[in-house]
Amino acid sequence: MFGTHFYHERIKKSVAVFGSLFNNIYVLRKGSNGNIISTVKVPLSYAPAQKFLERIRENPNLTDDTKLAIKLPRMSFEILSFDYDNQRQLQKTNSINKVGSVNTSRNKLFTPVPYNINFQLNILSKTQDDALQIVEQIVPFFNPQYTITQKPFTKYPDIKEDTPVILNSISFTDDFEGAVETRRTIIYNMDFTMKISFHGPLSESDIIRQVDTKVGLLNANGTDSDIPLTLISVTPNPADASPDDNYGFTTTYTNLLDSA
């Protein structure tokens, strides 16, 4: 119904870009004398926070046995929803034109459709200090948005788009249930909005290499005459120039009355 298959991997790339923002966060552990005891890189994965909570609750003991318990702190993120963004919608007839595989064709992309992807980043920790270290390494970069430059098309790396990522809100819960020996989990939920654009398929067409214009007289009443006087032809110079070349044009005038 809609035509041929196309896939620009916009959602896949957006998930990868969003995750890359938070894949290099560390937590420092210090002793009573203020010296650093250990440095822990916070693991990040794409998964709901509830999945980790259920796995943590499987181990009722406060142990560090990796076979039974998930090591904390850690982070996870997931897509919550998609929303159409009508404030960013441009005129639908706008287009981007690029040279095709050969100089005789061009590819055209029409105005993309703007959407918002709503992400949630979950920070899980056993201690408040670990959680706050992670939060404070994220918040200063969003005021409330952080802009990323993306290349939406692998085929055309020179086309770039600015993608704002907005921090909407931060919520906090302390998942402490049951007896005193029950494992405690402190959770910070950070809600983000990423503004992306979905592009349609590439349409290929021939490049116009000659424009002909016929010039004639006007009738007494101001209407066009059916008798052309001159044919004006405009062609690129050289004729096989690429649309991206800095070429000139050749204009030829032909008197149609003499040739008739």
> Are 68 and 157 members of one domain?
yes
Answer yes or no: do 78 and 184 share one domain: yes
Assess if residue 14 is contained within a domain. yes
User: Do 173 and 224 sit in the same domain of this protein?
Assistant: no
Listed ranges 26-35, 127-136, 177-186, 248-257; the one with the highest mean pLDDT: 127-136
> Same domain for 238 and 182?
no
Both 241 and 119 in a single domain?
A: no
Q: Give residue-wise pLDDT tens across range 127-156.
A: 899 999 999 999 999 999 999 998 888 877
User: 191 and 214 share a domain?
Assistant: no
**pTM metric for this prediction:** 0.71
Question: Are 161 and 178 spatial neighbours (Cβ–Cβ below 8 Å)?
Answer: no
User: Quick one: pLDDT band at residue 34, thresholds 50, 70, 90?
Assistant: confident
Residue 187, in any domain of the structure: yes
| H/E element, 141 | none
In a domain, 96, yes or no: yes
Looking at the fold, whether 161 and 214 belong to one and the same domain comes out as: no
Is 157 in the same domain as 236?
A: no
Q: Considering 204, 220, 246, which residue would you say is the last residue of a domain?
A: 204
| CATH code (residue 62) | 3.30.2000.40
1, part of any domain: no
> Does 233 share its domain with 162?
no
| Residue 198 domain boundaries | 10-204
Is 191 found in the same domain as 86? Answer: yes
Residue 251 domain-assigned? yes
Asked if 61 and 135 sit in the same domain, the reply is: yes
Where does a domain end: 184, 204, 224?
Answer: 204
Q: How many domains are there within the chain?
A: 2
234-243 — which CB contacts under 8 Å span 24+ positions?
234/210, 235/209, 235/210, 235/211, 236/209, 239/209, 240/103, 241/103, 242/99, 242/103, 243/97, 243/99, 243/103, 243/106, 243/207
pLDDT category, 42, cuts 50, 70, 90?
very high
